[in-house]
Structure 1
Amino acid sequence: MIARWLLGGILAFAGVAHLTSQRLEFQAQVPGWFPLDTDVVVLVSGVVELALGAALIALGRHRVLVGVIVAVFFVAIFPGNIAQWVDGVDAFGLDTDSKRFTRLLFQPVLVAWALWATGASGLARRRR
């Protein structure tokens, strides 16, 4: 439960940052090839992160479903992290290729955290 709440808090914090103080930093991570306005992408993803964070904290009964949705969200935003590395975009103190690459390694950790903290990883094992 603590791991789920902590991840929920991190997502909620990131969602607020999308909408306020770090909006420009997040805009820098939207790939240039993405067909929507970068500010719209940042605003929508911020709202989604707020909702997912609240769901992780409040929806204990549906935690497995929420965990899967959060994991899918982390996979969906991964191209932005890859684009930041490939394009050499500085944001969030990631001002070298090695820092940007190292960040890529943490995305699978977030996916695993979402699945583990909500029991979704155990559900897949039980179904086998």
Structure 2
Amino acid sequence: MKKLLKTVLFACAMVVISNVYTQDISGIVRYKGMLNRKYVDSFITAIESKKEVSMHIKQIVADGHLNATPDEYTLNIKGEESYYYMEPKLSENPYDVGSKAGGNSFYTKKDSIITESTIGYILHKPINWEISQETKKLGKYTCY
């Protein structure tokens, strides 16, 4: 009986381990990007202090930043592939600046990244990083 129990437990463990290693990772991640309130306040203060900018333009810029609606982003993952994009949105405000987080789409498969931009699709090749013992001091931080 003990030997049978050990055999069954071993078989179950092998099934679980093989499922873990052969299972494709997949999922969808959705999130929102919005402007930092501190940034908006400092930007509006800076634009209002510029004398060469007309009051009408200052008002449009201030409204665009104060009434910015969050941008929604989606990341789809399936195995070794992923696709990241900004969800399209309709806005009643033509000057809505959104989150300023960027609207480019990215597609990845294994070691390749393809970026969608205004000039077309751009293929990014992977960088072969070499780890060394070199360090560099940036401000109060030590970078390795």
Say which structure is richer in strand: 2
Structures share fold, TM-score greater than 0.5: no
Comparing both chains, which one has the higher relative contact order based on Cα–Cα distances under 8 Å and sequence gaps of 6 or more? 1
Q: Which has the larger radius of gyration?
A: 2
TM-score, normalised to structure 1, is: 0.30
Say which structure is richer in helix: 1
TM-score, normalised to structure 2, is: 0.27
